[in-house]
Structure formats: C-alpha cells, structure tokens
Amino acid sequence: MSDVKQHKVKDIFVEGPVDPAFIATSIAKHATRTDIGAHEIFLGQVRADATPGLTRSRVQTIEYTAYRDMALERMTSIREEAFAKWPAMTCLHVHHSLGTIKAGELCFMVFASAPHRQSAREAVAWVVDRIKAELPIFGKEIIDDDTHQWKSNDLRDSGPGLRRDDSPE
Amino acid sequence: MEVLLFGMIAEMAGADRVKVDASSVHQLRRALADRIPDLDKFSMAIAVDRRIVHEDMPLTGSEEIAVLPPFAGG
C-alpha cells in the first residue's frame, strides 16, 4: 500500500456514505501484500435511534459536518501513535462520511492490517475510540422535516486510558 | 477576532463565524455568552490553533479560534 507508515496528513473524509463496494475494493488491494496475515475492520452504521419524548419518531438521517483542519491534524497524531504502539501493523485506513447519511448506511470505517491478528484487532479498537473522543465531527440527527437533534458521543464505554483532552503528546 | 462556530453552536448563533473582541480565552467565553443566547446551558470546548484549551490563556488575535460542541464522529 502506498500509505504504509507514512504519516503525512491524509484526508479521511468522504462526501456521502461509505460504499460497501469501496470496502471490498480496499480489501482486495491488499492481496499483493503477502506479509499481511490479518485484517480487522470496524464499520459504523447510522442507527435509526428512537428519540426520547417523540414517540414513534426515529432518526432518519444524520448530517455530518467537521472542523476539517483540526480533525485531520488530530487524525495524523492518532495514526502516528497507533503505529508507535503496534509497530507490526502494516497499514491503517480511516474514512468518515460528511453530508447526509441515511439510517442503515455506513458512515465510518477503520481498517488495519498486520502479520498477525492481535495487533490489527487492538489497533482498530483503540483508533475507533480515539476518533470518537477527539475528532471534531458533528452530527445533526434528522427526525423529520421539522425536527432534529444533535448527536453527542457517549464516551463511557470507550475503555480505560482514553484521554478526554487534546494535550500535546 | 473571528471565531469559527460548528454544529449546534453555529445553529444557535445563526452563523458559522462571529467577530468578538477578547484578549484571553476567559474573555472570549464571556464575549461569546453575550453574543449567543443560552450558550452557557450547553457543553462546549474552545480550540486555539486546532487544539482544545482547558485553561485560560492570552490571545493575540492571530490565532485560529473555534468553538466546538460535543463530538459525534463514528
């Protein structure tokens, strides 16, 4: 892969949903890397959450926006830390949607590859939690034409050791 | 100085940027609260040059300042 252990700023954002066909192509591209023995992929899907106080109403779509420059800076340092923690990892691909994503569509992908499964598994779980906690991405949950609410990540299940702040390493 | 607003806070302000005068983060918070009604009822973070600041610090006006509501990525 062209991005192996390069830590330049990469754009993780895609307009619209993450296409399952894109994910399949991304997996297929690793066939030339015969040092890889394990892929681990996390996919986030927009959930039609019930809305408190609005019986029978559910989230129809999420409109994602981001503070792009900060998000990409944070992602670059998360990527660097991930490669430092799991040096066996051969590559790490991250994509997050912007714009309108319908319930049932994919909005987030974290894909790590390594010679053995442990590095890939651990890295993906850690990177997903870091992204949810630290990247300035905002989600407007559309209930119907007249109603919306703002999504806020619940970080309580993010696991131990996750930093809530943004302090320099 | 110009302050970038995002998500729910941009919606509350009716704009994605506002101009305020402030020479510290503390002053900035007060100026924003004056400008955006009910802002103090919501959770927000201030980013200076794309890093969240938790303490008061001086501002020269040349920084990139942003007001961030809770994150919702993933």
Determine the Cα–Cα distance for residues A137 and A156; give it in Å rounded to an integer: 18
- Say what the pTM is: 0.89
Interface ipTM: 0.95
Asked if B72 is an interface residue toward chain A (Cβ–Cβ < 8 A), one would say: yes
Residue A94 token pair: 């991250």
pLDDT digits (tens, 9 = 90+) for A29-63: 999 999 999 999 999 999 998 877 666 688 999 99
Mark yes or no for CB contact A67/B69 under 8 Å: no
| Residue appearing with tokens 């906690």 | A133
pLDDT tens profile B24-59: 999 999 999 999 988 988 899 999 999 999 999 999
The superfamily (CATH) of domain B2-68 is Beta-grasp domain (3.10.20.30)
In order of their start, the domains of chain A are 13-151 (3.90.1170.40)
- Domain chopping of chain B, boundaries: 2-68
Distance in Å, alpha carbon of B31 to nearest chain A alpha carbon: 22
Say if residues B36 and B12 touch (Cβ distance below 8 Å): yes
B35 and B61 Cβ atoms separated by less than 8 Å: no
> Which residues of chain A neighbour B8 with C-beta distances below 8 Å?
138, 140, 150
Q: CB–CB of B71 and A73 under 8 A? A: no
